[in-house]
Amino acid sequence: MFAESVFGSLRRTDQRRWAEAYLHGLISTSGKKTVRRLAAAVSDRATASQSLHQFVNASPWDWAPVRRDLVRWAEERTTPRAWVLAEAVLRKRGDHSCGVHRRFSPLDGRSVNGQVCTGLFLAGHGDALPVDWALYLPEAWADDPLRRSRARIPDGVPHRPIEEQALDLVDALAARTRLPAVPVVADASFHTDADALVRGLDRRGHDFVVAVSGRLTFGRTGPSAPGPTRLDRGHRTYRMFATRTRPGRPADRLWLTNMPHRRAEELLPLTRTLGLAQEAVRSMQGDLGLGDFEGRSFPGWHHHMTLVSAAHAHSRLSVPGVPHRLAGLPVAA
């Protein structure tokens, strides 16, 4: 059973049941996924909403083992061909949600007020499954003791550049996976320090295909010519190539890879996995309430993102026709 496989690390029976209830509510509730509406979808008890909120926002369960088990469950049912790093901006009102600030959103094409996060996805041939998340904390949040206290940000969580957070996600997945490593795909075209991500992946020995800005400069090893260009970075040879959405149109993305000898027929499918991850983000925002949780606390945000990821995996990979059975709900979380 899905819930037993993914939520088995939760120590208490009531926590495991509330995790299953939250997941069921995310999948079955239409419209905005507030805790109150999720609770009403799974129980008619007057205290269900309070208990569900307690479980998600305040209950001290560790999300890392749940994400580890989600990776294992997903890898048993699909064969990833890429690990995809994709950013998301979860729009929020006000300034109380943990880490909220104004930021340019590539998907929205404009600056919005929200939480900025990076997800790591297992991408196959037709879908991408999120298995880990990092929440970006601006210095205004990380250096403010009052904000840290109110949002329950652990002492060991500092401000870190998005590129470093992305590398942490890759390191964590490399430690969790039971399958051989696959290329890492990412969009760093809006990053101020895309070179840090490229160098970090290279140092770790990962193959990669990364979308970059035309401002990223490298030393050429050959004459300028149309098509793929071989580039030299010290002892490494990279390859830069462009993709376009329609034949005859100008190139819309510039890509850098440390696999210069791979054929275009091998590299182009990898670039398309980024679109699969971005589509998964849109699907979770529209169907599973990815951005509906207020997210005022750091642990609560991670709990919600973990449960939404589990709901996405369940909805994509569970056997069709097999009903999702909801266990009896506990009295309290």
The CATH number assigned to the domain holding 231 equals 3.90.350
Instruction: Give me the chain's average pLDDT, please.
Output: 88
Q: Looking at 19-23, 48-52, 323-327, which range is the least confident one?
A: 323-327
pLDDT per position as a tens digit, 58-68: 999 999 999 99
pLDDT per position as a tens digit, 139-195: 999 999 999 999 999 999 999 999 999 999 999 999 999 999 999 999 998 888 899
Residue 219: per-residue pLDDT: 47
In a domain, 327, yes or no: no
In a domain, 323, yes or no: no
In a domain, 295, yes or no: yes
Residue 192: per-residue pLDDT: 82
Residue 253: per-residue pLDDT: 87
Residue 101: per-residue pLDDT: 95
Residue 304 and residue 288 in contact, taking contact as beta carbons nearer than 8 Å: no
Q: Residues 226-231: what's their mean pLDDT?
A: 50
User: 277-301 burial, b if ≥16 CB within 10 A, otherwise e?
Assistant: bbebbebbbebbbbbbbbbbbbbbb
Rounded Cα–Cα distance for residues 114 and 78 (Å): 32
The answer on pLDDT for 217 being more than 80 is: no
Q: Pick left, alpha or beta for residue 227 (phi over 0 → left; psi -120 to 50 → alpha; otherwise beta).
A: left
Residue 233: per-residue pLDDT: 55
Residue 94: per-residue pLDDT: 86
The answer on pLDDT for 226 being more than 60 is: no
| Cα diameter, the chain | 72
Q: Around Cβ 157, how many Cβ atoms within 10 Å?
A: 13
Residue 125 and residue 273 in contact, taking contact as beta carbons nearer than 8 Å: no
Residue 69's SS3 state is helix
In a domain, 331, yes or no: no
Q: Residues 285-298: what's their mean pLDDT?
A: 94
What is the sign of the dihedral through the CA atoms of 91, 29, 78 and 131?
positive
Q: What percent of the chain has pLDDT over 90?
A: 73
In a domain, 195, yes or no: yes
Residue 82's SS3 state is strand
Count of structural domains within the chain: 1
Residue 228: per-residue pLDDT: 52
pLDDT per position as a tens digit, 237-246: 899 999 977 6
In a domain, 332, yes or no: no
Residue 185: per-residue pLDDT: 98
* Residue 85: closest CA among 254, 274, 252: 274
Residue with tokens 């037993």: 4
Q: What are phi and psi of 160, to 5 degrees?
A: -140, 140
Residue 218 and residue 237 in contact, taking contact as beta carbons nearer than 8 Å: no
The answer on pLDDT for 321 being more than 80 is: no
Rounded Cα–Cα distance for residues 5 and 76 (Å): 11
Residue 215: per-residue pLDDT: 67
- At residue 272's C-alpha, the angle toward residues 317 and 109, to 5°, is 105
Residue 111: per-residue pLDDT: 87
Q: Residues 115-132: what's their mean pLDDT?
A: 96
Can you read off the two tokens belonging to residue 112? Answer: 């919005």
Q: Residues 291-314: what's their mean pLDDT?
A: 96
* Residue 58: closest CA among 230, 303, 228: 303
In a domain, 240, yes or no: yes
pLDDT band at 214 (very low <50, low <70, confident <90, very high): confident
Q: Looking at 52-56, 120-124, 161-165, 325-329, which range is the least confident one?
A: 325-329
Query: Is residue 326 packed enough to be buried (19+ CB in 10 Å), middle (13-18) or exposed (0-12)?
Result: middle
Which of the pair, 285 or 321, is modelled with greater confidence?
285
Query: Is residue 60 packed enough to be buried (19+ CB in 10 Å), middle (13-18) or exposed (0-12)?
Result: exposed
Residue 61's SS3 state is coil
Residue 331: per-residue pLDDT: 41
Rounded Cα–Cα distance for residues 93 and 113 (Å): 7
Residue with tokens 């939250």: 22
Q: Looking at 87-91, 219-223, 253-257, which range is the least confident one?
A: 219-223
The answer on pLDDT for 133 being more than 80 is: yes
Which of the pair, 212 or 218, is modelled with greater confidence?
212
Rounded Cα–Cα distance for residues 3 and 72 (Å): 13
In a domain, 328, yes or no: no
Which of the pair, 330 or 12, is modelled with greater confidence?
12
- Residues in contact with 151: Cβ distance below 8 Å, sequence separation at least 6, in sequence order: 98, 99, 141, 296, 297, 298
Residue 212 and residue 195 in contact, taking contact as beta carbons nearer than 8 Å: no
pLDDT band at 227 (very low <50, low <70, confident <90, very high): very low
User: 24-51 burial, b if ≥16 CB within 10 A, otherwise e?
Assistant: bbbbebeeebbbebbbbbbbeeeebbeb
* The overall pTM is greater than 0.75: yes
Rounded Cα–Cα distance for residues 140 and 143 (Å): 6
Q: Residue 286's domain spans which residues?
A: 2-317
The answer on pLDDT for 332 being more than 90 is: no
